Amino acid sequence: MTVITQVAEQRKALEQAVAQALELARAGSDAAEVAVTKTTGIGVSTRYGEVENVEFNSDGALGITVYARQRKGSASSTDLSPDAIARTVRAALDIARYTSEDPCAGPAEKELLAFEAPDLDLFHPAELDAERGIELAARAEQAALAADKRITNTEGGSFNSHYGIKVFGNSHGMLQSYCSSRHSMSSCVIAGLNGEMERDYAYTIGRALDDLRTPEWVGAECARRTLARMAPRKLPTMRAPVLFAAEVATGLFGHLVGAISGSSVYRKSTFLLDQLGQQILPQWLTIEELPHLPKGLASTPFDSEGVRTERREIVRAGVLQTWLLTSYAARKLGLRSTGHAGGIHNWRIAGQGDDFDALLKKMDKGLLVTELMGQGVSAVTGDYSRGASGFWVENGEIQYPVSEITIAGNLRDMLRNIVTVGDDIETRSNIQCGSLLLPEMKIAGQ
């Protein structure tokens, strides 16, 4: 039986499980919603070319939420047999009897639901072949080890391949499903010099196996990143421009996600409270959400409440256009769901035409941040303080690696004062953007 045939049969069975749960819930509730996920895959790892781990997995789970007289009850089960589903439904109904009434509780409005789900080209499964995975992981690791004699140790290579099925249904008559796949490969090594060691990694990820970079690229990139970190220096405390490399710049916009999420807004726990319709970013900057991007790593036809996803501008010309709302948060705020139950869907921040080298020259002198550590960010005040490492830049060129520093500022000011965003777009995240230049931050060093 091929993977495609097997998945088609599993998908049909899971849709039947959702329909069964909804039918059982009908007698004791005013409304209900059921979600089922099933994931199948393989993960392998190697170290010095030897197999360290081979793991096949096949996991499924059903979750049901019922609403009765404005009371909510939820239950879940990893056993998808008919008897287990019946017990899970009864458990949810029992829980609803004891919860408090909440006028904002309930499924998404019918007119917002995805009664049709577009094909987003997310499903490209591979036959789960352990030997092939071991070969790819070992090649990635070997390419890193062979790159330079200063690479003295390895944490190994890895390869993962998974495919999944998601089914959602509710008492409004919606029952939709879709399949997706994800493949990845990585390598991590350690370099040593004069008794000091540095570690780094590289990876590639995609919906289709053919979309991955080669193992040799992964290994070479892993070695390059690791060697570049060797012999780091410390910086004196100062204020200086900061350039966030693309892979960490996505995290800066990740803080924006939390700040404009509906739950933060109705709890009044965000530094962007009352900023809807106000300028929060530079006028030249627009953030667009593309939930139907073909093969997108965060693409989805509907959110975890069944609300259809739509292309939208989150920020237009620097002005905040929308909160990110679930059905519950929307009701608390007197608004409508924006289809963000479960998170965001492919944010894209367009660059300003500068490649990475041009950004270095534009900064001229300052700090290039390639890694961030710690959780020193206040969602309420926007105060930002995190450990960092990267490189010191002078005359628009990287001079030497730096470590054991802290960068600090306030997110509200940082976001509003972005100088430029590069065209070196990081696509391996649900936020796609290039490197990001800030005019100044406080840098705490030795």
pLDDT digits over 232-267, tens only? Answer: 999 999 999 999 999 999 999 999 999 999 999 999
Domain positions in the chain are 3-228, 232-446
Quote the pLDDT of residue 193: 82
Question: Which amino acid belongs to residue 61?
Answer: A
Q: What confidence category does residue 351 fall into, taking pLDDT thresholds of 50, 70 and 90? A: confident
Structure tokens at 305: 């409440």
Mean pLDDT of the chain: 97
Q: What does R_g of the chain's alpha carbons equal in angstroms?
A: 24
**pLDDT per position as a tens digit, 275-292:** 999 999 999 999 999 999
In this prediction, residue 179 carries a pLDDT of: 98
Q: Is the dihedral of CA 429, 431, 436, 441 positive or negative?
A: negative
pLDDT class of 194 with cuts at 50, 70, 90: confident
Asked whether the CA dihedral 335, 338, 343, 346 is positive or negative, the reply is negative
pLDDT (0 to 100) of residue 139? 98
Structure confidence at residue 359 (pLDDT): 98
Q: CA 350 to CA 420: how far, in whole Å?
A: 10
Q: What percent of the chain has pLDDT over 90?
A: 96
Q: What is the mean pLDDT of residues 414-426?
A: 97
CATH code of the domain made up of 3-228: 3.30.2290.10
Q: What is the mean pLDDT of residues 344-349?
A: 98
pLDDT in tens, 89-139: 999 999 999 999 999 999 999 999 999 999 999 999 998 789 999 999 999
pLDDT digits (tens, 9 = 90+) for 422-431: 999 999 999 9
Question: Strand locations in 138-193, DSSP E?
Answer: 151-170, 175-193
Mean pLDDT for 165-188 is: 98
pLDDT at position 203 is: 99
pTM of the model: 0.95
- Predicted confidence at residue 344, as pLDDT, reads 98
What angle separates helix 82-96 from helix 3-26, to the nearest 10 degrees? 40
Does residue 2 surpass a pLDDT of 90?
no
Q: What is the mean pLDDT of residues 42-69?
A: 97
